[in-house]
Structures are given as C-alpha cells and as structure tokens.
Structure 1
Amino acid sequence: MTVDLNKIKAVAIDLDGTLLAPDREVTPTTVSAVQRLKEIGVKPVICTGRPLQGVIDLVHKLNLLAPDDLIITYNGGLIQRPASGEVLKKVTLSLDDLSSLLKLAEAINMPLAVVDATNAYLLNEPLGRQSGYPKIMTKLPFSHVSLSDFSTSHQFNKILFSYDVDVLNAAIKEIPKDYYDRFTIMKSRPNLLELLPKTVNKGHAISDLASILEVPVSAIMAIGDQENDLPMIKKAGIGVAMGNAIPEVKAVADMVTTTNAEDGVAKVFEQLISARKHQI
C-alpha cells in the first residue's frame, strides 16, 4: 500500500512498547528524531494511558514543553498542554461508576486500583491478591481506601485491574457483556486491564487532536503496539504498527516499522523527514 507521508501534520505516539525501548527509556536516536520532526513542522504528540505525572520527566527529555505542545493521557480521557497544564478535553468516571466496577472486581476476584487527577488508590485486594499497578506506575502516590472515603462529586480518570497475566486473562472472560456496553475495557499491556468512560479511547483522541490542531484526521499519523492503540491506528490517516506489535495491530496498520528495540519510531520519523525534503 502506498502512503502519502507529506500530508502528515502531527504524529500521535504510544509510549510503552513504542516510543520507549524495552528498558522503558527513550534512546538518544529517538530524542534526536523527535526534535528533527518538530523542525520540519510536524507535531509529535505523546498518546499514553499514563497520567501526566507519570511521563513528565520524558516530556522534559523530549523537549515537548513549547506553549503549543500537546499531550494525550489516560488513553484519550485527558488532552492538555504540558507546559501550562491547560486542559483542552477531559472525560472522567463518577463515584457510581467506581462503585459498579468495584462490584465487578469483587465478583471476579481482581484487585482494583483507581486514579484521579493527582493520586492513585487501592480498593480491593481479594484472596490476598495485590494489585500490580503500584509497580507499574511508580510516579504516583498510592493509598488504601474504601468507597466511603470519596465524596459523591469525586471524579476519576481510570480504573485498573493489574495482576498475573494468566489469572487476569481468565478473569476477563468472566466480565459480563453489559460492562462492555457501559465502559471502554481494554489491555494496555499484558498484565494491565484498563476500564474507562465509554467515550474514551485513543481513536476518539485522534479526532479531538485533529479538531484542536484544525487539521483533517487524515493529516494525523498514529504509532502503537497494543490493544489500546487499535482505535487510533484504525482512525488515523496513517496507522503505523511497531515490529513488536500484537498481530491485531499489525493487521489494521498502513505501515509496519521495526521494533522498539530497533528505534522503530525514529525510523518512521526519518521517513517523514526524508519525504518532506524530497517535496522541497
């Protein structure tokens, strides 16, 4: 399939398994490629399931702190300007949503973690099962709480079930269909299931990003590797799968680059830069 790289005005980039190498760091090659991409007028936009607090060090390292720079967090639940913190789009879960999902967690024996704008909380650890999320999201403070500790107006960004992969996969099979009708439920990594507002996913975020930038969706490229990246890979003008992506992502992508161990994102950026040079 032939793709027109010259039409691209912005690139939405997943982090884990994509922009970040297997050691969860960004390589000097990728840092350089991000800056060169900005120099040709293409806007790199981090698009992650993490909160801003969890990626702010990376934002600084990539120098994505210009007044007009953007970041998509919580899998599209929040779009903001990292330099000022200005929120451009926000969709959250309510206390009733948390109560409903807590009942689900109890029914399928899954530990539940929930994140709001500043903190993370642990509510359910059945049968001695401890949530794996504190080990994943080390940038947020965690506390053990109960449902009654929150006010009725409290807003939550996402809820997470994180545990041993095989146990989690078996539990997912027990989730009743009506929960899928009410929430967006998807994996962001093998041992992490995310539960979000129904209207939140990275595909909707691509549409929101295009609107904010005042460009067509066809001018947005998206790069990812996991189940939670599928909506944006499908939605973007050009969807790019990492070489290490799950088969489902590769199946719907317009391009496949090399793995995150081989600077796959930087290679795509070099193609964009080269295409722009040949256009001049």
Structure 2
Amino acid sequence: MIKLIALDIDDTLLTSQRHILPTTKQAVQDALAQGIKVVLCTGRPLAGAKPFLDELGLAGDEQYVITYNGAVTETVSGQVMAKHLLDNAAYREITTYGQAHHLPTNVLDAHSNIYTANRDVDWWIVEQAAESEAGLFIRQPDELPADFAIAKGAFVGPESLLDECEAAVKAAFRDRFYVVRAGRNFIELMDPIVNKGQALSDLAEQLNLTAENVMAVGDEGNDLPMFDFAGVAVSMGNGTAEAKAHADYVTAANDDDGLAQAIRKFAL
C-alpha cells in the first residue's frame, strides 16, 4: 500500500508552462484525504518550493519537503530534520573550476540565497534565482566568511554547453562529490552522501515506512536515486530516456495529465 508519494517539481508536478493542472491538484488532495504523505523532492530551496506547497495545501510540521536535491530535509514549516553541506574549500574549488573553464557557476547556501563570482551574470543564473525565489549575490570567495558553507554548487547554461562539459565535470569531481545532471541546463554538485533517494529513504525510516510504501515520480537524472529506492518508480512521459529506463512505469507527459493518472493508478 502506498503511504508516501514523492514528487519532483519541475517538469513533473508542473506543466511546461509551470502550472499545476487542476486534475493534479485534485489527485493530491484525494491522496492527502486518505492519509498519504505527499513530499515534494526538488533541487530548489524551500522558498522556491513554497508556492507549490501552498497551492497543494501542504503545511505544518506533519508534512515534509526534500530540498537541494536531498541536501536538506525539513518540515513544510521550515523545521530542519537533516542537512549535509559542503565546506568553504569545496565552494572555492567549484568556483575556481567554473572560472578556469568559462562555465557560468553559482552556489546555494542553506538559506535560499544564490552566490556567483561571475560579474556578468549568466541568464540561466538569473532564471534559477527567480524560480527559486532566492536572493542573488555577486561575491568573490574572499568576500565571504571563512566558514561559508553551501548546500550545492551548479554549473549552468545552454544545453549544448553542458553536453560538451558534462563528462569532464564528472571526471573532475565525482570522486569527492555527488555530481548529477539535474536538468538540461544544470549540472549540480553536492556532498557525496546526498541525493533524493537517500533523503527519501531516511525520511521513510523516520515515518516507519518501507520502500514498498513509497511511490516516486520524476523526469530527470537527479530523480534516479529515488526511483532506485521507491517500491513504485514512475517516469513522466516527457522524462529523459535514462529516467524512463530506470522507472517501473512511464505515465503520460506533464502537459497531458500524466501525474494525476499515475497517482490514481498506484496510490488511489
């Protein structure tokens, strides 16, 4: 029996126009009415997830959200349950690599703020800050405290640019960080123990649930760890080929009522 539904936000919960379909909202409400937990699992900080939590009626300390791709797990009201941050040395290494390889680079702290050392701020960084409802600061590493820690770093830009550099980035960092293509325009780096699947597993354990009680729905590479954990793994029809290959089931696309269909098929 499904008792927890883990949902990615972008291109899963949201349509391509970045809205929640009425049918999706109703399916979530029906799940909540049956006592099923609905947990948004996202690369965004809490501030970037909050508008959608509010729209779905998820509130309080009995509902949960996994943010920063698993670096922080918290209640919807903001009570932190677990967090795994990268230290100042890691922050500097990521920033230095981005500058040396001419990759737009930013990092997020644990307070929904984005920092970049790029004086000419790339459009994708501005877009990321807007989507996450995050503060955006232009700072060189020496302008920040020695104990400045981050939830994640990101190399961003056009899909073609990240296609070209992805293999090199993974080769440079994968022995020390969790490196994932979190979207076509984002390569993200986090603490090596961080991913959506680990955070979801830890949360399920705290709620006395097993993997068989968990359904996970997503569309991208950063969703694969929660696919590997969940008893039921669903890829959106608009998901990547990798996501579809890892899933137990492929539903319709995000614009075609795919999420509501999956919730009703497996949880209701």
TM-score range, shorter chain: over 0.9
Q: Does 1:49 align with 2:23?
A: no
> Structure 2: how far apart are the matches of 1:111 and 1:249?
26
Corresponding letter in the other structure for 1:53: A
Per the TM alignment, residue 180 of structure 1 is displaced from its structure 2 partner at its CA by 0.6
Quick one: which amino acid aligns to residue 270 of structure 1? R
Quote how far apart the aligned CAs of 1:249 are.
Answer: 1.1
Alignment partner, residue 104 of structure 1: 97
2:205 match = 211
How far has the Cα of 1:141 moved from its partner? 1.5
Question: 3-state DSSP class of the match of 1:266?
Answer: helix
Q: Which residue of 1 aligns with 2:140?
A: 146
Contact 2:170 2:179 in 1 (8 A): no
The counterpart of 2:85, out of the listed 70, 76, 92, is 92
Q: In the alignment, which of 129, 132, 135 is matched to residue 127 of structure 2?
A: 135
2:150 match? 156
C-alpha distance in structure 1 between counterparts of 2:214 and 2:168, whole Å: 37
Q: Map of 1:71-86 to 2, 5 A cutoff? A: 71-83=65-77, 85-86=78-79
- Give the 5 Å matches for 1:22-37: 22-37=16-31
The alignment-based identity, stated in percent, is: 34
1:147-186 correspondence runs (5 A): 147-175=141-169, 177-186=171-180
Please, which moves more after superposition, 171-180 or 217-226?
171-180
Equivalent-residue separation in structure 1 for 2:260 and 2:3 (angstroms): 16
Alpha carbons 1:131, 1:162 under 8 Å: kept: no
Report SS of the residue matched to 2:115. Answer: strand
Greater radius of gyration (CA) = 1
Conserved? CA contact 2:64–2:76, under 8 Å: yes
Deviation, structure 1 residue 195: 1.1
Q: Which position in structure 1 is the counterpart of 2:239?
A: 245
Q: Give the equivalent residue in structure 2 for 1:277.
A: none
Question: What letter corresponds to residue 227 of structure 1 in structure 2?
Answer: G
- Give the aligned CA root-mean-square deviation in angstroms: 1.5
Mapping of 1:50-69 within 5 angstroms?
A: 50-69=44-63
Query: What are the Cα deviations for residues 120-157 of structure 1, in whole angstroms up to 9, with x where unaligned?
Result: 111136xx672512213311121110101221222211
- Do 2:129 and 2:135's aligned partners in 1 also have CA atoms closer than 8 Å? no
**TM-score under structure 1 length normalisation:** 0.90
Q: Deviations over 1:198-246 (max 9, x none)?
A: 1111111121121121111221111000011111111211111111111
Q: Kindly tell me: are residues 170 and 273 of structure 1, through their superposed partners in 2, closer, same or farther at Cα, counting changes over 3 Å?
A: closer
Q: Secondary structure in 2 aligned to 1:21?
A: coil
- Equivalent residue of 1:142, what SS? strand
The DSSP-based 3-state class of the residue aligned with 2:16 is coil
Amino acid at match of 1:212: Q
Farther off after superposition, 220-229 or 177-186: 177-186
Q: 2:106: which partner in 1? A: 113
CA drift of 1:167 comes to 1.6
Unaligned segments of structure 2, at least 5 residues: none
Deviations 1:164-192 (A, max 9, x none): 11122212233362411101111121111
Q: What secondary structure does 1:221 align onto?
A: strand
Matched pairs, number: 265
Q: Secondary structure at the match of 1:45?
A: strand
The answer to whether structure 1 residue 264 and structure 2 residue 254 are counterparts is no
* In structure 1, C-alpha distance between the alignment counterparts of 2:40 and 2:195, rounded to whole Å: 14
Structure 1 runs (4+) deviating above 6 angstroms are none
